[in-house]
Amino acid sequence: MLLYAIRYFVIVSVVPPLFVGGFAVTIAAAAVRLASDATTGVEALTPVLILQLFVASSGFRVPARRGHFDLLLTSGAFRWHIAFAHCLVSVAPGLASWLCVGLLELAASRGTHSVSFTAGTCVAFASASLAAWSAAVHSSRMAAAVGWLLVMSIPVVARTVSPLRYLGASAGGPETASLATACVCAIGLSVTAFLGILRGGTPLEAAQ
């Protein structure tokens, strides 16, 4: 049933094709940048991470209440399968794009330089993906997008919350405590979101 849930969310386009195309563009741009300068890994990863914040914020409760997931919710699939599949399909394109850029960076530097797989970068992508998905579970993609725009555009907030500052950071650097905090917060948010899907009802919206 887990594979069925994953296929279902792929078919109903939890991640619209437009966003997949956006990731393709960011990978192509990263390839051009890294080919000219293999030390620009952080700059190449930045648009991928920003796009991931919006893409992973796919929302669950709003489309469920509109009947988009009725076939899956009434199929007998375990709710935790549904929650896990929705999360996986939502974050997979961004994580795959991160991996592609990381491999491009290794190829461009011939294995001598890589910020794509430092502890900070791993935490940035993993925590941002989980946090974005979790925060949008009870909301819509549009509302989540507005929230992230506010977070990223207010300097004081961005310096504290933005995952971009973790790109390229090492585990033993000054950001160690922040990295641990980001992991704990992301796990806490994702557990809360999973419990919301497992225990929460999804009554259909009344027709307008």
Domain ranges of the chain: 2-199
Q: What is the pTM of this model?
A: 0.92
For the chain, give the mean pLDDT: 92
Q: What's the pLDDT tens digit per position in 54-96?
A: 999 999 999 999 889 999 999 989 999 999 999 999 999 999 9
56: nearest Cα among 133, 166, 160: 133
Long-range contacts of 96-99 (CB under 8 A, 24+ apart): 96/23, 97/23, 97/26, 97/27, 97/48, 97/51, 97/52, 98/45, 98/48, 98/49, 98/52, 98/125
Tokens (6 digits) for 22: 């956006």
H helices, E strands: number in the chain: 10, 0
Q: What's the pLDDT tens digit per position in 148-203?
A: 988 888 988 888 889 999 999 988 877 889 999 999 999 999 999 999 999 877 77
Q: Which residue has the tokens 């974005």?
A: 132
Instruction: Give dist(CA 179, CA 70) in Å, integer.
Output: 38
Instruction: Give dist(CA 159, CA 165) in Å, integer.
Output: 7
**Max CA distance (Å), the chain:** 60
Query: Averaged over 126-134, what is the pLDDT?
Result: 96
Q: Return the DSSP state at 165.
A: G
